[in-house]
Structure 1
Amino acid sequence: MTEQHLPVDFSFVLASSVHDMKNSVGMLMQTLEQISASLSPQDPQQRDQLAVLGYEAARINGELIQLLALYRMENKRMLVQIDEHYLDEIINEQLARNDILFRSRSIDVEVDCPEDVCWYLDAELLGSVVNNLLVNAARYCKSRIKIAAAIVNDELHLVIADDGRGYPDFMLKEPMATSNSVSFSQGNTNLGLLFAGEIARLHRRGEQVGRIELANQGVLPGGEIRVILP
């Protein structure tokens, strides 16, 4: 009798593994927050070390979430739930998630989002984009980040800027050409830009499709990413 092997769907196995890893990293992040909260004010060095661990765990968790989302998009399993949401609530939720990171790195975060700015969008997906872009900005900025949201020409513009070195020229010309800007030696795969662009494109109105734009020397002297939803 010939032994038969079922074909292995490697992408499904990988996605399942990523999901398990994401859950484990989430538990690690909660534990780090509990340890940090229990430290006395006399332990600034330990707090800084935990902040570094928390930042790296948040970055890994964000990239795992993005990988799962991209897998679901590829396999037509991504559910988009569009409803009316206030942008200040989405922004403030992500700022709270990264409060320890900003304070440990002495980063000043400025928010420019009137309370009445609301839009039809998927709050969970956009929140993931905002979280990732904030963590990325914290990595490259010197000391300042600005996040703003406004309605411009009947489109929602969500902008995150920093005072770092800015984007290289080739990325400004083709922000979605991530394969040309991958640098494994520097730990830069630009997965966040790919994720932000794909999430933006999931938001449509008639023939209009969401998009992202990159710029330098905007409201701050570094780089600026603009997520635009119709």
Structure 2
Amino acid sequence: MRYFSFKNRIASAYILSTAILIGLIFGVLYLFVRVSVFSHLDEDLQLEVNRHSEALVVKDGVIALKNHEEWMEREHNTLGVDPVFVEFTNAQGEGIDKSPNLKTENLLLSDKHKDYEFYDSKLLNKRVRQVQLPIVDEANHLAGYLLVAVSLEGRMVVLDALSRIIWISYPLVLIALFFVARIIVGRSIRPINSIIETSNKITRDNLVSRIPLPENHDELFILSQTINDLLDRVEQVIEREKLFTSYASHEFRTPLAVLKGTLEVMIRKPRSDEEYRHKVNYCLREIDRLDLLIDQLLLLTRYESQKKTLTFKDFKLKEIVDISINRIRSEKQYSQIYTQNHIPESVTIYTDAYIFSTILDNILSNAFKYSKEEGKIDVSLKEYGDTLVLLVQDYGQGIAPQDLEHIFDDFYRANLAITSENKGFGLGLSIVKRLSLLLNIDVSIKSESQKGTIVSLTLHKSKS
């Protein structure tokens, strides 16, 4: 059984259960036929007993036939098909008279069987069905016995033939059913073969193959669908890993090269404490940029998995905006930029606070970064029924029209951003776009060069 195929194991289990069922059916059929045959035989034997009992008379304690000659003519002289044998005995079992077809043989009076009981016996080495009944006189004294027997040979031939047919056909039927079951099971488990073939095709570089779904929506359909869903998740994980590797290899080179170059310059010759301090602080800022880059890359590559960890609650919109503004304004270079939050205190939104704060941080960070020195940022809100539109407006460098259509692309930086003193990676708005999709937020940008930018977030009010 160790190397027995799955198809053969199912077919064998099917055949085993079928064998038991067919065996029971054949057994019941044979017993039914046998009981029916013997039941009809006993009925015939009872008729013979009744008929011969009417032909008897008891005189002075002796059994005799009412019309001996007529009775003898009626009985058979030779053995025929299912012949009837009749014999009369006295109370001691000694023969008085018998049918001519018994010739020199006698029916035996049995002490093992009760009167009126039908039982099997033998006559001339042939099977017979026999019954014995007592004959009494007028005083109800036992005068003798009437023994009647009928040949079983014809009926037993039929029963034996039926038994042989059952024993021969039984294994043949099981063998035929086994091969039929293999064909049926083979078709039924065809999706399993598809699973095996598809699994053999799947590699790290080929994750697009999927298992064809069976037509019947049964357990194999559910299994195939579950495996396909698993493959989708595996593909997403590996794609995110490839994406992260691609992003990391693309973006880590520049900061690492700057750090390496700065450190090499530091060790070429002795320098003053002020120069060392300046270079170390520069390296620390680059390390902070690397740390920020890693955080942004992780957000970008894992945003799909965020769907399962979202926690929606009611939050005060003004409070979330204030927290983001204060967090960014804490940086020294942005302390001179003036901000106004015009959002009413009463407005609440139903969202995930962490994801929404991340979106706001990136939008406000860009607004601060590209605002003019001592510039201004306005945060306002418009209400349209259950819909809220959050507006973040700055009056800084703005974005050229040719750059607007690419502004949400990964690592894309507008020309003005590249030439400015502010260093970035081109990931902020890409993160905003992807995280906004998670929260079902529509984001749009309007901008003019040297006039400023307006970022619009379309939100939904709290349900409460």
TM-score (norm 1): 0.63
- SS of the residue corresponding to residue 299 of structure 2 reads helix
Structure with bigger gyration radius = 2
Partner of 2:353: 123
SS in 1 for 2:309: coil
The yes-or-no answer on 1:228 pairing with 2:458 is yes
Q: Which residue of 2 aligns with 1:151?
A: 383
Q: Kindly indicate whether residue 436 of structure 2 is the aligned counterpart of residue 200 of structure 1.
A: yes
- Which digits, 9 at most, give the CA deviation of each residue in 1:86-115, with x for residues without a partner? 101101111221233377541011111100
Q: Find out whether 1:170 has 2:402 as its counterpart.
A: yes
Q: 1:110 — aligned with what? A: 340
Instruction: Summarize deviations over 1:183-220 as a string: whole Å, max 9, x none.
Output: 6992554311111111111123xxxxx22111126xx9
Aligned-residue CA RMSD (Å): 3.7
State the AA in 1 paired with 2:399: Y
Residue 79 (1) aligns with residue 309 (2): yes
Note the residue ranges of structure 2 that are not aligned, 5 or more in a row: 1-203, 205-237, 249-280
* CA distance 1:119–1:110, change in 2 (3 Å): same
Q: 1:148 to 1:61 in 2, by over 3 A?
A: farther
Q: Distance in 1 between matches of 2:338 and 2:382?
A: 21
Native 8 Å contact 1:200 1:228 kept in 2? no
- Which residue of 186, 190, 193 corresponds with 2:426? 190
**CA deviation digits over 1:100-134, x for unaligned, max 9?**
33775410111111001111111111111111222
Q: Is residue 215 from structure 1 mapped to residue 451 from structure 2 by the alignment?
A: no
**Stretches of structure 1 lacking an aligned partner (at least 5 in a row):** 1-6, 19-49, 205-209
CA distance in 2, matches of 1:127, 1:82: 13
Q: Find the residue that maps to 2:331 and give its secondary structure.
A: helix
The sequence identity of aligned pairs, in percent, is 22
Relative contact order higher in (CA < 8 Å, ≥ 6 apart): 1
Tell me if structure 2 keeps the 8 A contact 1:214–1:223.
yes
What is the aligned residue count? 180
* CA spacing shift, 1:67–1:179, aligned 2, 3 Å: closer
Q: Is the 8 A contact 2:407 2:413 kept in 1?
A: no
The residue matched to 2:330 in structure 1 has which SS?
A: helix
CA distance in 2, matches of 1:107, 1:154: 33
> How far did 1:156 drift?
2.6
The counterpart of 2:320, out of the listed 87, 90, 111, is 90
If the length of structure 2 is used for normalisation, what is the TM-score?
A: 0.33
Answer whether contact 1:163 1:221 (CA < 8 A) is retained: yes
Residue 152 of structure 1 deviates from its aligned partner by 3.0
d(CA) in 1 for partners of 2:294, 2:382: 29
Q: 2:443–2:456: 8 Å Cα contact kept in structure 1?
A: yes
Partner of 1:47: none
